[in-house]
Structure 1
Amino acid sequence: MNTSKTQVAIIGAGPSGLLLGQLLAKHGIDNVILERVSGDYVLGRIRAGILEQGFVDLVREAGVAERMDREGHVHDGVELSINDKRYRIDLKELTGGKTVMCYGQTEITADLMHARKDAGLVTEYEVSDVQPHDVKSDNPYITYTKNGETHRLDCDYIAGCDGFHGVSRQTIPETERKEFERVYPFGWLGLLADTPPVHKELIYAKTDRGFALASQRSDTRSRYYLQVPLTDKVEDWSDERFWEELKTRLPRDVASDLITGPSIEKSIAPLRSFVCEPMQYGRLFLVGDAAHIVPPTGAKGLNLAASDVATLYKILQRVYKEGDTDCIGQYSEIALRRVWNGERFSWWMSNMLHNYDDEIQSNGVEGETFKRFMESELDYYVNSEAGRRVIAEQYVGLPYEELR
């Protein structure tokens, strides 16, 4: 067995694992990243691209912001369209100057990969049978297989950044963890195309035909979504059908400006809310999707992962620079406060903006009552400054919590 040692072992080379590794390395904290697939496969994942200010600041602190600052688009606002009536949420004005940035997750991941390679930091791609051991002891380690050989990585701490289906969460015994879940009765059909965005800001559209989102990745690349039944398959949706349905859900004046084209990627993602408690077990820390999943409504998934990274990064700095190991116990408490807030906001936005007609019909009067509640809720929030401010403050993201 080949044996090596590091201070922090990171499982998963997605944006959260790479960002954590870069931040730790900036402060002289040695780390190794283990990833089960190739780097090209990681970069092939199509994901979100709306970054809160906290995420942007972390990328800058990591020293990997040059391309993001050059090519990213700062958005001062976002639009809600309710049955063709448009409401602009002025993020900058309502939050005292805060904004969000549009910069694709794939681009962030590529930037972090290149920075890690340039710094000579170790990332082991295409490893299998990854398994943490003795995470409740002072000497945890990970075993894995690479090129048919078994390896052991000794470490002080393990960051599980390996997603919902990864091994990290499963390392916590079922008797020691509690999982909360809400599965939504619809999915999002997403289409990526090399066409100019239909609008300079994102548009969240609620219609009787279902929800739609007009998003973007750059001046020349667009990302659009449609609410679809869970029974639908990608093969059911030709590009032509997608574009025609999108036009019916966008505001009429916006739809008339829509430029269509062949899709680069098309997929259907089910929506769920999921939280695992606790997010720490001994010297193992769960980060991002390993601990929580949010519906994409509200753009919180990647940003919640970034807030986990920020908290863990501060804790590990204190451990290695000040010798304070008592602060480790704060991780789950601090992270979960922000996670549940993000979960609530995404759930709330999903409830207000999506069409629940199928579920409402099966629930009779109770379903109709829910529909009326959500219609009233949305009407209040878009038509009052106090309501719009709540949406704006949540959308740009709450400040990161400091350690005690």
Structure 2
Amino acid sequence: MRTQVAIVGGGPAGLLLSHLLHLHGIDSVVLERRSQEYVQHRVRAGVLEQGTADLLREAGVGDRMQREGDVHDGVHLQFDEERLRIPFRELTGRGITVYGQQEVVRDLAERRRRDGGQVLFEVADVGVHDVTTDRPFVRFTHEGVERELHADFVAGCDGFHGICRDTIPAGTRTVYERVYPFGWLGVLASVAPSCGELIYANHANGFALHSMRSAEVSRFYLQCAPDESLDEWPDERIWAELQTRLGTPGWTLHEGPIIDKTVTAMRSFVAEPLRHGRLFLAGDSAHIVPPTGAKGLNLAVSDVDRLADAVATYHRTGSTTGLDGYSAACLQRVWRVQNFSWWMTSLTHHFGGPDAAFERRLQRAQFDYLRTSTAAATTLAENYVGLPLR
């Protein structure tokens, strides 16, 4: 098999990269180890920055997002029972769109199907070879047959547990990582959202987040131990804790049937560089951010937008400037986003330890600063709605 760009990973990063390349007239083949059903129905993040939403619309894959996505012009921060709204639109002229990652994947997969794109699901034994030569290839098994896919470039969009990052020799790769001493208990409930915008709450019992997936389905998160057993969280305890951590005078949290529960550990992770020869990493294969800042999907979109443009420029003019600068340009945004996600996490979570009381007083001071300073609120708003993609 031969193509111009071999893309390992059929999640949002891989599918969007394939579509953007197609718009530039560049062929690609996407290889995904999971089934199509799994990829398109896995519930993940659902907050799109302004730039991400704009890019999806401009690329012709934003029609359903435009109809069904929920545009938010602000977000709520809460300290104990005191709630503060940060007005995004007023402070920055921009907002966010709540639209599930699985919906983005469905839209992209459908568009690739209509455009005749090659997306192979349930591939196995994937290996990337000869990326430091001008003839890289990917060896894999599909439907019981071993195959080779030769390409000009290989894009590693295969996530944190994928194989592409490890293709870069350990002596060439530098890893930066922070593992947080807590996790998130994620809950999906069949109940209408109790607030029209997200609520980030810092309570004495720990962090809580009120979010939504649709007009009928709410998404909640509770700070918990990273290895917490779901057996410790029956529905009654979940609702009691949500009522406690999110409660404010005069506001009601509506309850309903809980349809899904998961526990996710939290970490920050960056692998540098994002390029090795003709292999380019994008999305979670290169970096992970704690979900507090809602940046994971948006950071992947920024990566592949830049990569598609660099590859298109190379094929159109022969210039390697965009390819050569890809890693450094992406990492500048990656570390800005890491900083913001760490800051949001530090503002809203309890880290424990002997200085916990001191930490909580610092959080209170920061909350008060956001409440009284337009400059501080604007900084939060600007980072949350997203800096320009490029």
Q: TM-score surpassing 0.5?
A: yes
Q: Which amino acid aligns with 2:387?
A: L
Equivalent residue, structure 2, for 1:161: 157
Please list every run of 5 or more consecutive structure 2 residues that lacks an aligned counterpart in the other structure. none
1:315 to 310, 319, 330: 310
Runs of 4+ in 1 over 3 A off after TM superposition: 367-375
2:179 to 183, 198, 217: 183
Equivalent residue, structure 2, for 1:80: 77
Cα deviation code 1:262-314 (max 9, x no counterpart): 22211000110000110111111111100000111010111111111111111
Equivalent residue, structure 2, for 1:379: 368
Q: Following the alignment from structure 2 to structure 1, what is the Cα–Cα distance between the partners of residues 175 and 136? A: 24
Secondary structure of 1:174's aligned partner:
coil
Q: Following the alignment from structure 1 to structure 2, what is the Cα–Cα distance between the partners of residues 52 and 254? A: 31
Secondary structure of 1:315's aligned partner:
helix
1:10 correspondence with 2:11: no
Q: How does 1:100-111 map to 2 (within 5 A)?
A: 100-111=96-107
Q: How does 1:178-257 map to 2 (within 5 A)?
A: 178-253=174-249, 256=252
2:382 to 383, 393, 396: 393
Secondary structure of 2:387's aligned partner:
coil
Contact 2:127 2:139 (8 Å CA) reproduced: yes
Contact 1:19 1:62 (8 Å CA) reproduced: no
Q: Which amino acid aligns with 2:188?
A: L
Q: Which amino acid aligns with 1:49?
A: G
Cα deviation code 1:103-155 (max 9, x no counterpart): 11111111111111111110111001111111111111000011221100000
2:36 to 28, 35, 39: 39
Q: Following the alignment from structure 1 to structure 2, what is the Cα–Cα distance between the partners of residues 106 and 254? A: 34
Q: Following the alignment from structure 2 to structure 1, what is the Cα–Cα distance between the partners of residues 250 and 259? A: 22
Q: Following the alignment from structure 1 to structure 2, what is the Cα–Cα distance between the partners of residues 280 and 92? A: 36
Q: Following the alignment from structure 1 to structure 2, what is the Cα–Cα distance between the partners of residues 231 and 64? A: 38
TM-score, normalised with respect to structure 2: 0.97
Secondary structure of 2:7's aligned partner:
strand
RMSD between aligned alpha carbons?
1.3
Cα deviation code 1:161-193 (max 9, x no counterpart): 100000010000000000001111100001112
Q: Which amino acid aligns with 2:167?
A: T
Q: Following the alignment from structure 1 to structure 2, what is the Cα–Cα distance between the partners of residues 94 and 79? A: 14
Secondary structure of 1:167's aligned partner:
coil
Equivalent residue, structure 2, for 1:70: 67
Equivalent residue, structure 2, for 1:335: 330
Contact 1:23 1:61 (8 Å CA) reproduced: no
Aligned residues: 390
Q: Which amino acid aligns with 2:28?
A: N
TM-score, normalised with respect to structure 1: 0.94
1:278 correspondence with 2:273: yes
Equivalent residue, structure 2, for 1:259: 254
Please list every run of 5 or more consecutive structure 1 residues that lacks an aligned counterpart in the other structure. none
> Percent of pairs identical after alignment?
50
Q: Which amino acid aligns with 2:32?
A: E
Equivalent residue, structure 2, for 1:346: 341
Q: CA deviation at 1:252?
A: 2.4
